[in-house]
Amino acid sequence: MCVLRSLSALVSRLFMMENVSVGAILTLSGLNFPFAYRIILFALVLLCYLVILLSNFTIIVVILADRKLHKPMYILLCNLCINAVYGSVGLYPKFLVDLLSSHVISYAGCMLQGFVIHSSNCCDFSILALMAYDRYVALCRPLVYQSYMTRQRMSLFVFFSWFMPLFCMFTNTASILGKKLCGSHINRLYCVNQMVVSLICSPPRSHTVITWLNVAFYFFHFLFVCWSYGYLIKLCISSTQMWKKFKQTCMPHVICLVIYTTTILLDLSYMRFGSTDVSQHLNNFMAIEFLLIPPIFNPLIYGLQLTLIRNRIVGLFHSKKKIHSF
């Protein structure tokens, strides 16, 4: 929260210094259909947002409340759910307001929204990479796992899994703050840095350099995750017992990784190569699918696949039924 407040203050200060008259209020696209349809969409989006909050908060509360779940794998899962809530805050509240009012956003608000959404995506990759590393150590070095994955080391890993995405996206966003804009229309439901860069009269080279450094940094994350799970599959497939353990503890990570990577690649591909001839509804869905599908499916997959999580959730609902029966 302190980082977000600092960013918002910095945006406002630079905005006043540069006097960006054209970009003071930016218009977003995608909601040019009748108000009656907006009401229906508002109800659907609100329902999705509530499902995201309920499912992720359920996993978070279950893990925090049970000391038996205070283990590296579950701590990382808890952080993945926290990040899903953080990322959804960057889109859904503003989107719900836009459905009932004008679809505009201030320059400072646009920068802040882009920062939250981008940093949340990067944080997902950082946490998924840590999950892959945790499973690698657990299955390949089981004798030293307890002594290596200590609480202090895990705290350090978790800290950097949040700090690095926030730092990378802060530098990325700061490189375009206060630049003179030659337009005010963003062809998307929400703000992303690349769309803002396309409005800048003279895009700074520093932003391009920082963007490619960030892309390279997280591409290595992706390669590491793929190598880790590839190595684990090769190691475990020859042993029935090891393969059973892999399916129990690693398969949810692999499924969530595939879902997340697929949605991100679809979004990037569509933003880069998408056609303008497709319907507005498809445009809107492709714009938000990576902020809709993983936050909903991830907690469901982990809740159903991981035995301890599933048992705690079932036990929680059973205890509530017993209380109501008295």
Query: Could you tell me the pLDDT band of residue 323, with boundaries at 50, 70 and 90?
Result: very low
- Please report which confidence band the pLDDT of residue 293 belongs to, taking 50, 70 and 90 as the band edges: confident
CATH number at residue 288: 1.20.1070.10
- Under the banding of pLDDT at 50, 70 and 90, the label for residue 318 is low
- If 0-12 CB within 10 Å is exposed, 13-18 middle and 19+ buried, where does residue 138 land? buried
Question: Which H or E run includes 203?
Answer: none
Taking the chain, what is the end-to-end CA distance rounded to the nearest angstrom? 43
Contact (Cβ atoms closer than 8 angstroms) between residue 127 and residue 220:
no
Q: What is the dihedral of CA 289, 290, 294, 295, to 10 degrees?
A: -90
Element (H, E) at 185: strand 185-186
Structure tokens at 254: 């692999």
Q: Please list, in sequence order, all residues whose beta carbon lies within 8 angstroms of the beta carbon of residue 27, skipping any fewer than 6 positions away.
A: 103, 104, 184, 185, 186
Q: What total number of domains does the chain contain?
A: 1
| Buried b / exposed e along 152-174 (16+ C-beta atoms within 10 A) | eebeebbeebbebbbebbbebbb
138-170 pLDDT, tens digit per residue, is 888 888 888 888 889 999 999 999 999 999 999
Reduced to 3 states (helix: H, G, I; strand: E, B; else coil), residue 199 is coil
Confidence of residue 70 (pLDDT cuts 50, 70, 90): confident
Q: What is the CA radius of gyration of the chain?
A: 22
Q: What's the pLDDT tens digit per position in 185-198?
A: 888 888 888 888 88
Fill in the amino acid letter for 11: V
Residue with tokens 């769309």, as numbered in its chain? 195
Q: What percent of the chain has pLDDT over 90?
A: 20
6 is in which domain, residue-wise?
2-325
**Confidence band for 107, pLDDT divided at 50, 70 and 90:** confident
3-state helix/strand/coil string of 18-50: HCCCCCCEEEECCCCCCHHHHHHHHHHHHHHHH
276 vs 187, 272, 281, 283, CA distance in Å?
11, 11, 12, 9
Share the mean pLDDT of the chain. Answer: 81
Provide the edge-to-edge strand list for the sheet that holds 25-28.
104-106, 25-28, 185-186
pLDDT for the residue numbered 68: 83
Predicted confidence band at 103 (pLDDT cuts at 50, 70, 90)? confident
pLDDT tens-place string over residues 3-53: 445 555 544 544 444 444 344 688 888 777 777 888 888 999 999 999 999
Q: From residue 73, how far is each of 151, 204, 256, 309 by CA, in Å? A: 12, 41, 14, 11
| pLDDT, mean of residues 221-239 | 87
Backbone angles phi, psi at 314, to 5 degrees: -60, -40
